[in-house]
C-alpha cells in the first residue's frame, strides 16, 4: 500500500507545511514501527523543511553532532518522531512543530501533552532507535514501548563469549556457548542485545534499573512460543513484557518490547517505511506470542 503526498512548494518566508496524512491509532497490544533509510532522503530542500519542524534546542542538538551523516540522522530521528506523533492526532491538522517533549524522571523522552487543553486523545507512547544507516520509531497506545536496532553485520571487537560473560546473564551465556558456529553465535549475541536493550528502554528507568546481567530473555519455540523474561537472581519467569524480533530493510535486527496490559494476547507489529511528507509504504504485519 503506497500513499504519495505531493510535497507543496516551500516559500522561504512561508510557515506553511505540507499536509500530513492522518493515521489510525495503534490498537491494543499493537506496535507501529516506522523507519526511514537516511540514504534515501537526498533532497536538501526536504531536509531544510525538516529542520524547520524542530524546536530551537532540538536544532542545536542536531548541529552539535560532529559530521554531516550524524547530523542528518539526528535530524531524521526528530523529524520522524514529530511527524509520526502529529499524524496520530485525531483532531485534524496538528502542526508537528507545536508538539512538546519532556523527559521522565529517568531521562526517557515522552510527549508533553500539556499543550493540548482539550486533548481527548489517549496517550501515545513512543521510542526511537537509530544506527548509522537506519532510523526507527515505535508507537503504542497506553503501554510503554522500547525499540532497538542493530546492524546485522556489525563486527564485534571482543570475543562474543567474553562480552556475554561480562554483561549478560548466566543462562544467556550458557545459551550462546552452545552455538558451535561463530557467525551464528555473533548474530544471536546481537539479537539478544537488541531484545535486552528494547526491554530496558521500554522500562524507561535507565540502564542501572535493569543491568543486563540481572535478567534473561529466553525464546521458546513452538505454538505457545514467544519470549520469557526471567530474573537472574530468582530464576522466576513471566510474560509481563512482550517481545518481538524482526529484520528491517534486509540489514538490521529490530527488537520491540511493550508492557503486556493483562490481555495476554499476542503483540502485533506493523512495519512501515516512510519519508516524512513524501510517502509511506506498508512493509509487514507480524504477530508475536
Q: Which three cell numbers stand for residue 221?
A: 519455540
Instruction: Give the total of residues touching another protein (CB under 8 A).
Output: 28
Taking CB under 8 A as the rule, does residue 65 contact another protein? yes
* 69 is an interface residue for another protein by CB under 8 A: yes
| Residue 125 C-beta: closest distance to another protein, Å | 20
C-alpha cell at 235: 530464576
133, 76, 121, 116: which is closest to 277 by C-alpha?
A: 76
Distance CA 232, CA 216 (A): 6
Whose Cβ is closer to another protein: residue 207's or residue 238's?
A: 207
202: CB partners within 8 A, 6+ apart: 127, 144, 145, 146, 241, 257, 258, 259
Residue 172 is a binding residue for another protein (CB under 8 A): no
Q: Are 168 and 217 in contact (CB under 8 A)?
A: no
Q: Does 208 bind another protein (CB under 8 A)?
A: yes
Interacting stretch for another protein, rule CB under 8 A, among 98-106, 113-121, 153-161, 260-268? 153-161
Contact call for residue 106 and another protein (CB under 8 A):
no
Residue 166 near another protein by CB under 8 A: yes
Q: Minimum CB separation from another protein for residue 61, in Å? A: 8
CA distance 39 to 215: 36
DSSP state letter for 98: G
Q: Which of 158, 221, 222, 233 binds another protein (CB under 8 A)?
A: 158
Residue 258 DSSP SS3:
strand
- Of 80-88, 159-167, 234-242, 280-288, the segment contacting another protein by CB under 8 A is 159-167
Question: Which residue has 519542524 as its cell numbers?
Answer: 53
Give the cell for residue 6. Answer: 505531493
Candidates 56, 57, 67, 107; binder of another protein (CB under 8 A) is: 67
For position 107 contacting another protein by CB under 8 A, the verdict is no
Least separation in angstroms between CB 193 and another protein? 6
287 CB-side CA count, 13 A = 8
The residues binding another protein (CB under 8 A) are 64-67, 69-70, 131-132, 150, 154-158, 162-163, 165-167, 190, 193, 197, 206-208, 211-213
Amino acid at each position: 500500500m503506497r500513499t504519495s503526498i505531493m510535497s507543496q512548494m516551500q516559500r522561504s518566508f512561508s510557515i506553511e507545511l505540507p499536509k500530513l496524512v492522518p493515521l489510525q491509532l495503534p490498537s491494543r497490544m499493537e506496535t507501529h514501527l516506522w523507519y526511514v533509510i537516511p540514504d534515501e532522503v537526498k533532497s536538501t530542500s526536504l531536509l531544510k523543511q525538516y529542520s524547520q519542524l524542530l524546536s530551537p534546542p532540538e536544532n542545536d542538538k542536531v548541529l552539535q553532532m560532529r559530521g554531516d551523516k550524524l547530523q542528518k540522522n539526528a535530524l531524521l530521528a526528530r523529524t520522524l518522531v514529530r511527524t509520526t506523533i502529529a499524524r496520530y492526532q485525531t483532531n485534524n491538522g496538528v502542526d508537528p512543530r507545536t508538539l512538546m517533549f519532556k523527559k521522565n524522571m529517568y531521562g526517557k523522552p515522552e510527549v508533553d501533552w500539556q499543550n493540548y487543553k482539550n486533548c481527548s486523545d489517549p496517550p501515545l507512547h513512543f521510542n526511537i532507535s537509530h544506527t548509522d544507516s537506519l532510523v526507527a520509531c515505535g508507537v503504542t497506545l497506553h503501554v510503554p514501548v522500547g525499540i532497538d536496532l542493530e546492524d546485522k553485520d556489525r563486527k564485534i571487537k571482543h570475543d562474543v563469549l567474553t562480552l556475554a560473560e561480562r554483561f549478560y546473564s548466566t543462562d544467556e551465556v550458557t545459551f550462546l556457548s552452545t552455538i558451535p558456529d561463530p557467525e551464528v553465535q555473533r548474530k544471536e549475541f546481537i539479537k539478544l542485545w537488541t531484545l535486552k536493550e528494547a526491554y530496558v528502554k521500554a522500562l524507561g528507568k535507565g540502564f542501572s534499573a535493569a543491568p543486563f546481567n540481572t535478567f534473561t530473555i529466553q525464546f521458546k519455540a513452538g505454538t505457545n512460543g514467544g519470549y520469557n523474561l526471567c530474573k537472574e537472581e530468582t530464576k522466576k519467569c513471566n510474560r509481563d513484557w512482550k517481545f518481538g524480533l524482526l529484520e528491517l530493510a534486509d540489514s538490521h535486527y529490530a527488537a520491540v518490547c511493550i508492557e503486556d496490559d493483562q490481555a495476554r494476547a499476542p503483540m502485533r507489529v506493523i512495519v512501515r517505511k516512510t519519508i516524512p511528507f513524501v510517502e509511506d509504504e506498508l512493509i509487514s504485519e507480524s504477530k508475536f506470542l
